[in-house]
Amino acid sequence: MKISIIRPFTAGLVLAAVCSGCGYSEEEMQAKQARIDELTLALDESERKNADLQNKFDDLSAQNAQIAERLKAQNVSVEQLQQALQQLKKREQQAEAQLQTFRNMLERFKNMIASGKLRVRIVRGRMVVELAENILFDSGKADLTEPGQVALAEVAEVLKTIPDRDFQIAGHTDNVPIRSRKFPSNWELSTARAVIVTKFLADHGVPTERLSAAGHAETQPVASNDTPEGKAQNRRIEIVLMPKLDELPDLSALENLGSK
């Protein structure tokens, strides 16, 4: 494609030929010549800009051709590229929606965070609401204390307002072994505590189909077990905001691998 501008006849010569017998004064002839010179300069500038535009157009055409060749060599069609861009845009929208959910939860938990009843962390892209064991349970037991029940009732009121989200209640302990008739190990203790909290939340209006419970014993510490302070941090209940299915990576391409 060529971008072109048509140059008119040489105006000065035409003007001289036409006006030689027209009776124009010397001043009028000079004014008209000055106007012709002005227009000629403007035309020259237009032609220069036209040449620049043509060069840019040629460069873009060459780049487009190179991109098309690369896509062809990699067996990628324009449609596939557009689909990939659409998927990327969808992921960005999902990430923004997830961040907004996190912001909303933080705002609603603000008073409990300020009072020290809980803290909120982001772990591997998931929001984790953490309650210390000493608020919820007495040492070595899985019965909720009165302050623990009050705190969990506040938590339940917030969780009920978060739509379309599942919550996993996870129990954690320090590394001090427990060996009792009721709890042979920290596995049983952490699991029992998670189940108790899950049932409490369900009883206070959080839909049961959105709740699950897990016990991790001492396998996922958040601090060193070498100090009393570290042990206290590791004895905790976590409420994990689980990702929605459409936020997980698309693994459909792998679905047939197990049958080969």
- For the chain, the domain total comes to 2
* pLDDT band (50, 70, 90) for residue 66: confident
Examine the pLDDT at 169 and tell me if it is beyond 60.
yes
Structural domain contains residue 60: yes
Examine the pLDDT at 1 and tell me if it is beyond 60.
no
Query: The domain that contains 143 carries what CATH number?
Result: 3.30.1330.60
Q: How far apart are CA 166 and CA 244, in angstroms?
A: 8
Is there a single domain that holds both residue 117 and residue 19? no
Write out the residue range of the structural domain in which residue 45 sits.
Answer: 11-72
* pLDDT band (50, 70, 90) for residue 91: confident
Is there a single domain that holds both residue 160 and residue 109? yes
* Residue 83: predicted pLDDT: 77
* Residue 5: predicted pLDDT: 47
pTM above 0.95, yes or no: no
Structural domain contains residue 104: yes
Is there a single domain that holds both residue 115 and residue 68? no
pLDDT digits (tens, 9 = 90+) for 184-241: 999 999 999 999 999 999 999 999 999 999 999 999 999 999 999 999 999 999 999 8
pLDDT digits (tens, 9 = 90+) for 106-144: 888 888 888 888 888 888 878 899 998 889 999 899 999
Is there a single domain that holds both residue 149 and residue 186? yes
Is there a single domain that holds both residue 64 and residue 168? no
The fraction of the chain above a pLDDT of 70, given in percent, is 80
pLDDT higher for 188 or 93? 188
* Residue 78: predicted pLDDT: 67
